[in-house]
Amino acid sequence: MSRRAQHARLGESILDRIGNTPLLRLERITKDLPKDVEVYAKAEWFNPGGSVKDRPVRRIIEDAERDGRFTSGRVIIDSSSGNAGIAYALIGAVKGYRVRLVIPENVSGERKRILQAFGAQVHYSDPLEGSDGAILAVRRLVEENPTAYFFGDQYNNPSNPQAHYETTGPEVFAQTDGRITHFVAGLGTSGTLMGAGRRLRELGPEIQIVAVEPDSGLHGIEGLKHMASAIVPGLYDPALHHRKIPIRTEAAYEMAQRLAREEGLLVGQSSGAAMAGALKVARDLGEGVIVVVFPDGGDRYLSTALWRTQEQRDKGSGIRDQESGNRD
């Protein structure tokens, strides 16, 4: 093996490990489905930053490096409720860039500590305003001093869906040998669904694209937006998906807990919501191959209501007190 080939195999940096995440067959939680219906999870917590957000954030930064919008003298800035912020902080650390983030005050302690570990500068916005409040706050900072920052603007930057168009969509198609019939993903920035969905519709026009969102604006499914009551991302095109499924917060939490106990998959509440949506799709089928995106793992939510017992939630603030938090 040549030295160059060996380096490619070993990986030159942690960023080389972004993408090519595994596709996992779900067995026990789907046991009541027709035998010709298969459900697979795209396990995005295998990315080095622990979430699907590594893909678009890397693309946002590297596209801006190439076209000159970002130079190392400027500070990378964006809003996030967790995962995108961690991706910015990780990639900034690798590349030697300064990163400034606006995050809702009520994000989990785990995510705050991860951001601190990677050296990001964090400003906290009003927790009652959720991710929309963080969006407005970061816009104000950029307007006050535009030359100081490169604003990643993940909710409106076309590099976000392009990352999924070029990686997530083709990966899913190849991993299922082109057999995929339905692609299910949650709506946050909408980059995953828009980018991967667009590519999958090109690769297989019969493939159904299914969006999942919370059932109301007041919810506790971090990472997802209820589009009718939120600042709608500029990336979002409702004409792309064939179906949109609303999911209750309680159903998302219950499904995340079931995935841990029945499949051994420790995932976040947005994965629980996506899985609940995928099962709604699956129950209408006689046969099919469903791929559902699991955006992140559950270890960064261990201190949140997701893993409290129902009794603890009833005594405390309750799952809906996390409000319309959107982890992107």
Q: Quote the CA–CA distance of 203 and 174 in Å, as a whole number.
A: 10
| β partners of residue 38 | 289
Residue 319 has what pLDDT? Answer: 45
- Residues with Cβ within 8 Å of residue 228, at least 6 apart in sequence: 217
Residue 324 has what pLDDT? Answer: 39
Residue 291 has what pLDDT? Answer: 98
Q: Quote the CA–CA distance of 191 and 326 in Å, as a whole number.
A: 14
Burial of 242 (0-12, 13-18, 19+ CB in 10 A): middle
Residue 322 has what pLDDT? Answer: 45
Residue 327 has what pLDDT? Answer: 40
b/e code 35-52 from CB counts within 10 Å (16+ = b): eebbbbbbbbbbbbbbbb
Q: Quote the CA–CA distance of 167 and 64 in Å, as a whole number.
A: 18
Residue 312 has what pLDDT? Answer: 58
Q: Walk me through the domains of the chain, giving residue ranges and CATH numbers.
A: 3-46+167-309 (3.40.50.1100), 54-151 (3.40.50.1100)
Place of tokens 């600042």: 231
Residue 314 has what pLDDT? Answer: 54
Place of tokens 């860039």: 97
Over residues 216-264, the pLDDT tens digits come to 999 999 889 999 999 999 999 999 999 999 999 999 999 999 999 999 9
Residue 87 has what pLDDT? Answer: 98
Residue 10 has what pLDDT? Answer: 63
> Are 214 and 172 a contacting pair, CB within 8 Å?
no
Collect the ranges in the chain with pLDDT lower than 70.
Answer: 1-11, 309-328
Q: Quote the CA–CA distance of 247 and 302 in Å, as a whole number.
A: 21
- Residues with Cβ within 8 Å of residue 124, at least 6 apart in sequence: 102, 103, 104, 105
Instruction: Give the residue numbers marked as catalytic.
Output: 53, 270
Q: What is the DSSP letter of 166?
A: I
Q: Quote the CA–CA distance of 230 and 319 in Å, as a whole number.
A: 19
Residue 236 has what pLDDT? Answer: 98
Residue 313 has what pLDDT? Answer: 53
Extract the tokens encoding 301. Answer: 């939510």
Residue 158 has what pLDDT? Answer: 98
Q: Residue ranges of the alpha helices (H) in the chain?
A: 3-10, 54-67, 83-95, 109-118, 130-144, 159-163, 169-175, 191-203, 249-263, 269-282, 310-315
Over residues 147-177, the pLDDT tens digits come to 999 999 999 999 999 999 999 999 999 999 9
Residue 75 has what pLDDT? Answer: 98
Strands 182-186 vs 288-294: parallel, antiparallel or unpaired:
parallel
